[in-house]
């Protein structure tokens, strides 16, 4: 979007849509781009909430200057020091040398480390407020959602929560900023993909943050990425509560790694068994070719996961091994896991999947299937049985 947009009275969106970055954090695909949401509040004093990624400065500063006109910028609230939100702080300081930086105790060493700034700082404590004339801002730390210095800012006057990465999502804005200007299917899918890749490991801290903020009167949630929520904030709070409690939908993700198609045939048989067991919501992924964030998103959404891999140089096939590593890091719970492996001149895949299963600590569904070379009819029947048992484990699915 080429200009600043008023989002609530004298509060303005001055963010940037990024369609140039292919990989978020150099890891996660951005087929629909990503938005860096930043804001300016005009009270008797002027306040910016967060900034944007470094290469986006020109677009950002044009919007800021348009909103401020001939006024100076008095404060910058630094909710989060990650460079996609704080990447242009030093440039903003050069443009507005009188600006003061608002952050908590854990923000300060990062301001020094990233931007060599250790002056003109207002350190705020948890729950402290700042009256800027016409608006009263309150600051709350939400440590490890998803960095230790993470903070949210609540404009108690407009009842707007500037929520940092919490409630954020992938995807650039395509015309509309708000939840009532987009389909839920579109924003929820990208929000869950963001949660699964960025926030999921810290689900326990998300629960702590939700409890801390539960007493606030909030009518709007404006995150630092993705859709702005003003039509129904309760829907996103409920989603975050459910995802962070590891509550799942009825369905199974089957992910495999296969060089020559034999392990894929095993995965197909597992899918067949799941369907025969009465579960219609089955998602089959090739770990070599499918975007990992989509696999993680659906694993976070659904109750069952089956992983099947071939042996590669005595080890688990590398793309599936990488997926296993990502899952261990995110520490999923309340799901069912089935595993199967194949080998030729050396075993290795199933042993690695067993070690993964021990590490991830999900409830296991059998049988474990290990196939030599090409699967026989008997091997495939065992894979079908694994699928049926998975369907039985996750329970009856509601009719649709």
Residues 218 and 69 placed together within one structural domain of the fold:
yes
Q: Which residues contact 1 (CB under 8 A, 6 or more apart)?
A: 15, 17, 173
Asked if the bond preceding 309 is cis, omega within 30° of 0, the reply is: no
Number of structural domains in the chain:
2
Distance (Å, whole) CA 114 – CA 303: 41
In a domain, 361, yes or no: yes
- The C-alpha angle 320, 321, 324, rounded to 5 degrees, equals 90
Residues 364 and 230 placed together within one structural domain of the fold:
no
- Could you tell me if 47 and 137 are in contact, meaning their C-beta atoms sit under 8 angstroms apart? yes
In a domain, 399, yes or no: no
In a domain, 117, yes or no: yes
Would you state the pLDDT for residue 242?
Answer: 98
Q: What is the DSSP string of 212-278?
A: HHTTS--SEEE-SSS-BB-S-HHHHHHHHHHHHTT--EEEEEEEEE-SSSHHHHHHHHHHHHHHHTT
**pLDDT classification of 2: cutoffs 50, 70, 90:** confident
Distance (Å, whole) CA 75 – CA 45: 8
Residues 128 and 183 placed together within one structural domain of the fold:
yes
- Could you tell me if 87 and 37 are in contact, meaning their C-beta atoms sit under 8 angstroms apart? no
Residues 224 and 348 placed together within one structural domain of the fold:
no
Residues 338 and 294 placed together within one structural domain of the fold:
yes
Residues 217 and 266 placed together within one structural domain of the fold:
no
Residues 270 and 220 placed together within one structural domain of the fold:
no
- Structural domain boundaries enclosing 192: 5-244
Q: Which of 244, 271, 294 represents a domain boundary (last residue)?
A: 244
Would you state the pLDDT for residue 175?
Answer: 87
DSSP 8-state class, residue 35: E
Question: For the domain that residue 26 is a member of, what is the CATH number?
Answer: 3.60.15.10
Residues 384 and 314 placed together within one structural domain of the fold:
yes
Sequence-distant contacts of 14-17: CB under 8 A, at least 24 apart: 14/38, 14/39, 14/40, 14/48, 14/60, 14/63, 14/64, 14/67, 15/39, 15/52, 15/60, 15/63, 16/52, 16/53, 16/56, 16/59, 16/60, 17/172, 17/173
For the stretch 129-167, pLDDT in tens is 999 999 999 999 999 999 999 999 999 999 999 999 999
pTM of the model: 0.96
Residues 185 and 289 placed together within one structural domain of the fold:
no
> Which segments of the chain does DSSP mark as H helices, in order?
57-68, 83-86, 89-95, 107-115, 184-194, 203-213, 233-244, 262-276, 292-301, 318-330, 349-360, 377-394
Sequence-distant contacts of 122-130: CB under 8 A, at least 24 apart: 122/75, 129/156, 130/75, 130/102
Nearest CA to 223 among 207, 204, 202, 199? 199
Residue 400 above 70 pLDDT? no
Question: For the domain that residue 305 is a member of, what is the CATH number?
Answer: 3.40.50.360
- Buried-state track 187-219, b at ≥16 Cβ within 10 A, e below 16: bbbbbbbbbbbbbbbbbebbebbbeebeeeebe
Describe the crossing of helices 233-244 and 203-213 by its angle, rounded to 10 degrees. Answer: 140
Residues 155 and 280 placed together within one structural domain of the fold:
no
For the stretch 168-217, pLDDT in tens is 999 999 989 999 999 999 899 999 999 999 999 999 999 999 999 999 99
Would you state the pLDDT for residue 9?
Answer: 94
Q: Which of 244, 276, 291 represents a domain boundary (last residue)?
A: 244
In a domain, 398, yes or no: no
Span 78-100, average pLDDT: 97
In a domain, 400, yes or no: no
β-partners of residue 13 are 5, 39
DSSP 8-state class, residue 88: T
Helices (H) and strands (E) in the chain, counts: 12, 23
Q: Which residues contact 247 (CB under 8 A, 6 or more apart)?
A: 334
In a domain, 127, yes or no: yes
In a domain, 379, yes or no: yes
Residues 9 and 75 placed together within one structural domain of the fold:
yes
Residues 300 and 223 placed together within one structural domain of the fold:
no
Distance (Å, whole) CA 183 – CA 92: 35
SS3 200: helix
For the stretch 305-328, pLDDT in tens is 999 999 999 999 999 999 999 999
Residue 252 above 50 pLDDT? yes
Average pLDDT, the chain: 96
In a domain, 397, yes or no: no
Q: Which of 214, 244, 274 represents a domain boundary (last residue)?
A: 244
């Amino acid at each position: 979007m080429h200009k600043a947009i008023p989002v609530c009275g004298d509060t303005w969106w001055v963010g940037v849509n990024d369609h140039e970055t292919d990989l978020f954090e150099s890891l996660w695909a951005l087929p629909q781009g990503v938005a860096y949401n930043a804001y300016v509040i005009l009270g008797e004093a002027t306040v910016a909430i967060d900034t944007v990624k470094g290469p986006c400065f020109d677009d950002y500063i044009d919007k800021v200057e348009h909103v401020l006109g001939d006024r100076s910028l008095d404060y910058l609230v630094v909710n989060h020091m990650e460079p996609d939100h704080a990447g242009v702080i030093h440039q903003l300081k050069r443009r507005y040398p009188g600006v003061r930086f608002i952050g908590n105790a854990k923000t300060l060493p990062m301001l020094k480390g990233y931007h060599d700034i250790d002056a003109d700082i207002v350190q705020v404590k948890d729950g402290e407020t700042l009256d800027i004339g016409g608006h009263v801002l309150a600051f709350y730390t939400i440590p490890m959602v998803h960095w230790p210095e993470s903070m949210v800012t609540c404009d108690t006057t407009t009842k707007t929560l500037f929520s940092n990465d919490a409630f954020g999502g992938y995807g650039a804005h395509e015309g509309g900023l708000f939840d009532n200007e987009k389909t839920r299917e579109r924003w929820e899918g990208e929000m869950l993909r963001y949660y699964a890749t960025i926030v999921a490991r810290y689900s326990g801290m998300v629960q702590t943050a939700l409890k801390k903020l539960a007493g606030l009167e909030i009518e709007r949630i404006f995150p630092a990425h993705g859709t702005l929520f003003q039509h129904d904030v309760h829907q996103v709070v409920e989603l975050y509560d459910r995802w962070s409690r590891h509550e799942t939908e009825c369905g199974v993700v089957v992910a495999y790694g296969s060089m020559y198609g034999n392990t894929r045939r095993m995965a197909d048989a597992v899918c067949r068994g799941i369907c025969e067991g009465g579960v219609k919501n089955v998602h089959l992924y090739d770990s070599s070719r499918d975007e990992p964030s989509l696999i993680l998103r659906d694993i976070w959404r659904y109750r069952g996961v089956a992983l099947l891999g071939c042996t590669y140089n005595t080890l688990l096939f590398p793309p599936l091994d990488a997926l296993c590593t990502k899952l261990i890091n995110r520490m999923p719970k309340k799901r069912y896991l089935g595993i199967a492996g194949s080998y030729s001149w050396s075993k290795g895949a199933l042993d690695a999947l067993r070690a993964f299963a021990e590490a991830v600590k999900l409830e296991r569904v059998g049988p474990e299937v290990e196939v030599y070379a090409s699967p026989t009819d008997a091997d495939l029947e065992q894979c079908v049985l694994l699928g049926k048992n998975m369907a039985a484990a996750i329970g009856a699915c509601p009719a649709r």
